[in-house]
Amino acid sequence: MKPLAGIRVLELARILAGPWCGQLLADLGAEVIKVERPGSGDDTRTWGPPFVTDAAGEAWGAAYYHACNRGKRSVAVDFEAEEGRAIVRRLAAECDVVIENFKVGGLKKYGLDHESLAALNPRLVTCSITGFGQDGPYAARAGYDFMIQGLGGLMDVTGDPAGEPQKVGVAVVDVFTGVYAAVGVLAALRRRDETGQGGHVDMALLDVSVAILANQAMNYLASGRAPRRLGNAHPNIVPYQVFEVADGHVIVAVGNDGQYRRFCEVIGAPALGTDPAFAGNADRVKRRAELIPLLQPHVKAFRRDDLLAALEAAGVPAGPINTVADVFSDAQVVARGMKLELVGDDGSVVPSVASPIVIDGERMAAATPGPKLGADTAAVLAALAGEG
């Protein structure tokens, strides 16, 4: 039995952050009921190509949709109509968790906000995901991952210092928000176990973007100097970056002084490893502009695989820069079972990426693909009628 078996989640969320939270809870064993607009459903169903098709060759939504909706049930109801609102209330009364990503106050006009639903179900945990949180001067604004990466500082520390600021290649703020949201939900459920009372989890994309600045934020807070883009270099460790080799590029991630000395020995520059000017990491960070041009010619003399093998043998962390195709053919990724083949009710096979969570040797991943729009409406409504 999975850890969240018996927990029922009502997902009133679309796009990525909220659905990512819902998918993570589904992976852990929760029953997740996704409420969608009749006719169109979650916006990401159309965010393609590429698209997934079923066994009959019919469209089954964009790959983007399937990235964050496996293991769920889909109910298509219009809660702008009273009949739809009544269905959502009845579902919420039978659920443990509601995930929603409407603008602040957006559900209040329907009587579906946390306060209204908690009056029906005091044990309910509601997780509200917004761009800027439930209060503050920006609370009413819409928030999107791309703009939040800029506003929250991530883009100013990402990219080539000679080029323009860059966003991360994945909607990392949305994904992190989904993960943090799941942690908040689980904490609120744990508290409910003790008190019998649910609660309201307030998740903001901007808060998450600031939180995941991590060491870059602390570098600023401790020094008063704002960090800037370093491309593929590290603000606190040298050498910890991409180097050019004879047939491409490699990542070298030297983490301590011993590794640095061994790195220099491998590349045929032992004198740089013992030079007092570069002996300690703090020295190397200060003299980065001097050291890297001295190391680069030695590294470039190697072919990628030869250098990686030599560094591995010497205990120096290093690795290739893989394409996504390379990732899914990598021996370790294959061995860990990170690619899933999920089978639908009609025998359709939908590829998916596994959750990274493994508990007692079991990979925590839901067994079914993202649902077709409204696929479970009749069954869920029939169960509600039975409960009534």
Q: Tokens 């939900």 appear where?
A: 185
C-alpha to C-alpha distance for 20 and 73, rounded to whole angstroms? 14
Phi and psi at 223, nearest 5°, equal -110, -25
Which residue, among 138, 137, 128, 125, has the nearest Cα to 108 in the 3D structure?
A: 128
pTM of the entire predicted model: 0.95
Type and span of the H or E element at 362: strand 362-363
How many CA atoms lie less than 13 Å away from 356 in the CB half-sphere?
2
Residue 107, pLDDT score: 96
Beta 248-253 vs 51-53: how paired, if at all? unpaired
The secondary structure element, H or E, covering residue 364 is none
CA–CA distance, 385 with 103 (Å, rounded to integer): 31
Point out the residues of the chain with pLDDT beneath 50: none
End-to-end CA distance of the chain: 28
Residues facing 342 on adjacent strands: 350
Could you tell me which residues are beta bridge partners of residue 201? 127
Contact (CB, 8 A) for 213 and 153: yes
Annotated catalytic residue 247 = no
Burial of 347 by CB count in 10 Å (0-12 exposed, 13-18 middle, 19+ buried)? Answer: exposed
User: Would you say 100 and 13 are in contact if contact means Cβ atoms under 8 Å apart?
Assistant: yes
Catalytic member of 174, 275, 283, 360: 174
Assess contact for 20 and 68: CB atoms under 8 A. Answer: yes
> What pLDDT, on a 0 to 100 scale, did the predictor assign at position 80?
87
Calpha distance 156→127 (Å, rounded):
30
Beta bridge partners of 98: 10, 126
Phi-psi region of 289 (alpha: psi -120 to 50; beta: other; left: phi over 0): alpha
CATH architecture of the domain formed by 8-212+340-386: 3-Layer(aba) Sandwich (3.40)
Q: Is residue 7 within 8 Å of residue 96, measured between CB atoms?
A: yes
Q: Which residue has the tokens 């991630």?
A: 253
Residue by residue, DSSP assigns 289-343 as HHHHHHHHHHHHTS-HHHHHHHHHHHT--EE----HHHHHH-HHHHHTT-EEEEE
Q: Rounded to whole angstroms, how far apart are CA atoms 110 and 127?
A: 17
Query: What is the model's pLDDT at position 385?
Result: 85
Q: How far apart are CA 7 and CA 3, in angstroms?
A: 9
Structure tokens at 203: 């998740």
- The structural domains of the chain, with segments of one domain joined by +, span 8-212+340-386, 240-325
In the CATH hierarchy, which top-level class contains the domain 240-325? alpha beta
pLDDT at 52: 95
How much is the pLDDT for 99?
A: 98
